[in-house]
Amino acid sequence: MSHTQNRSTRLIHGTSQPCEQTGALAPPLVQTSTFVFRDWQEGARRFAGEEEGYVYTRLGNPTVSQLEEKVADLEGAEAAVAFASGMGAVSGALMGLLGHGDHLLCSRGIYGCTHGLLGWMKEKMNVCTTFVDRPSRERLEKAVRPETKVLYLETPVNPTLEIIDLNEVCLWAKERGIKVVVDNTFATPILQRPLEWGADLVLHSATKYIGGHGDVIGGVLCGSSQLIGPIRDQLRKDVGAVLSPFDAWLLLRGIRTLAVRMERHVANAEKIARLLLAHPAVKKVDYPGLPNHPQYRLAQRQMDLPGGMVSFQVCGGLEGARLFLDRLKMCLLTVSLGDVATLVQHPASMTHAIVPEEERSAMGITDDLIRLSVGIEDISDIWTDLEQALHPLSEQVGECGKEEFSCKKSS
């Protein structure tokens, strides 16, 4: 693999070469549970780790390895390990780094099931978590303990799309010997590479942008060989949350177009964010690519492009949000994200419904907030659908109190 090639080229060539035996262009799908040894010595040597080679698919599989190499290359990591889901990667990272009685610092607003796993780890492993709002050097300093081992982050934050300064918090963690784990699902390695800012592990729900076509559940965790080795060779092997070869093959198929998909997701999201901002029935728009976003400059520094997710508040409160969602004709009402199709969800009654209302509003998740995963359809068709669904809300604009954006820019 040549690092003189750019990322979008390496997605297509890079780690995947035509099959040596057959010349097949597409990566071979090695759909097998186990691997046959030539003789007892070969089997013994592989078990002893004295010889490279596959043994049993739960321990490793060539199709899965190809995906791991590809994602590691994109993230600039030495190694990667794939899991049966994004949550497999989250639990691999947390269980790999944390032991009984350790303490964890975590950005507020993380993925719901990650939140659930942390609750489980507290109960079963006495691993306590302190949630920190918009982590910065000072805020982390206030929450750190002698037994703090890990700082766990998601940026952009779901669903409010705030940005955490990875350079600042990774420098702080390094001084203290704390490992930093970043869930990079929202940005993808095309737009943001946390290891370059000093993170130790970076993970993905490959179910989202990496797969991109809504047909597979998977996860990948990347980092140094030293950290990934034991997670792959012990934890994943013994816990067993392995990605199936076929799902790895689907992800290898999806990932080849990741760069072009991301370009289109972002181009569409930027336009939709501006159109929403100018719409009378929209109160507020959260998008890191809008100059009125509180961390606009940080987003420009840290991310190559501001991403394909847009959140916004509609007029009319909860009723307004419900009316809007039920009027959509093309955009799909569902909780995943990163699909080629535009997906829409209502955090207060869906992804964040289990979060107590008080905490929800502290996180900026109001009843009128809508989260949009902007797809790669023609922009005019996406906007036509959103606009017709917003239309009846425009009549309530009088009571809506639209925020003024003094720094609105036309570029």
Q: Which residue is nearest to ligand PLP (CB)?
A: 86
- Per the CB < 8 A criterion, the answer to whether 165 and 301 are in contact is no
Which is the catalytic residue, given 46, 111, 165, 256?
Answer: 111
The residue within the footprint of ligand PLP, chosen from 207, 268, 342, 373 (CB under 6 A), is 207
User: Nearest distance from residue 211's CB to ligand PLP, in Å?
Assistant: 9
Active site residue 183: yes
321 touching ligand PLP, by CB under 6 A = no
Strand partners, 285: 312
Residue 170 tokens read as 């990774």
Strand partners, 369: 313
Active site residue 208: yes
Q: Find tokens 């669903």 and name the residue.
A: 159
User: Nearest distance from residue 51's CB to ligand PLP, in Å?
Assistant: 34
Which is the catalytic residue, given 183, 200, 339, 368?
Answer: 183
User: Nearest distance from residue 31's CB to ligand PLP, in Å?
Assistant: 21
Q: Which stretch binds ligand PLP (CB under 6 A): 119-127, 170-178, 193-201, 204-212?
A: 204-212
- Per the CB < 8 A criterion, the answer to whether 171 and 201 are in contact is no
183 touching ligand PLP, by CB under 6 A = yes
- Per the CB < 8 A criterion, the answer to whether 195 and 222 are in contact is yes
User: Nearest distance from residue 21's CB to ligand PLP, in Å?
Assistant: 33
217 touching ligand PLP, by CB under 6 A = yes
User: Nearest distance from residue 102's CB to ligand PLP, in Å?
Assistant: 21
Show the site string, 68-97: x = touches ligand PLP by CB under 6 A, - = not: -----------------xxx--x-------
User: Nearest distance from residue 316's CB to ligand PLP, in Å?
Assistant: 28
208 touching ligand PLP, by CB under 6 A = yes
Chain length of the chain? 411
205 touching ligand PLP, by CB under 6 A = yes
148 to each of 102, 129, 206, 263, how far by Cα in Å? Answer: 6, 9, 29, 38
Give the integer Cα–Cα distance in Å for 248 and 220.
Answer: 10
Active site residue 56: no
Q: Which segments within 206-297 are labelled E, that is strand?
A: 219-223, 282-286
The residue within the footprint of ligand PLP, chosen from 111, 172, 197, 209 (CB under 6 A), is 111
The residue within the footprint of ligand PLP, chosen from 15, 61, 66, 185 (CB under 6 A), is 185
Q: Which stretch binds ligand PLP (CB under 6 A): 117-125, 205-213, 253-261, 322-330?
A: 205-213
Contacts of range 11-16, beta carbons closer than 8 Å, 24 or more positions apart: 11/70, 11/74, 11/255, 11/256, 11/257, 11/258, 11/259, 12/256, 14/70, 14/73, 15/66, 15/69, 15/70, 15/73, 16/66, 16/70, 16/252
Q: Which is nearer to ligand PLP, 183 or 367 (CB)?
A: 183
- Per the CB < 8 A criterion, the answer to whether 218 and 211 are in contact is yes
Show the site string, 136-175: x = touches ligand PLP by CB under 6 A, - = not: ------------------x---x-----------------
Give the integer Cα–Cα distance in Å for 261 and 170.
Answer: 29
Under rule CB under 6 A, how many of the chain's residues touch ligand PLP? 15
Q: Which is nearer to ligand PLP, 85 or 320 (CB)?
A: 85
Give the integer Cα–Cα distance in Å for 78 and 134.
Answer: 29
Which is the catalytic residue, given 45, 58, 139, 322?
Answer: 58
Give the integer Cα–Cα distance in Å for 161 and 199.
Answer: 20
The residue within the footprint of ligand PLP, chosen from 92, 96, 135, 219 (CB under 6 A), is 219
Give the integer Cα–Cα distance in Å for 66 and 249.
Answer: 9
Q: Which is nearer to ligand PLP, 140 or 181 (CB)?
A: 181
Residue 303 tokens read as 């991310």
Which is the catalytic residue, given 208, 256, 261, 284?
Answer: 208
192 touching ligand PLP, by CB under 6 A = no
Residue of 202, 206, 214 lying closest to 252 (CA atoms): 206
Question: Cβ of 48: how many Cβ atoms within 10 Å?
Answer: 8
Which residues are known to be catalytic? 58, 111, 183, 208
Residues that bind ligand PLP (CB under 6 A): 85-87, 90, 111, 154, 158, 183, 185-186, 205, 207-208, 217, 219
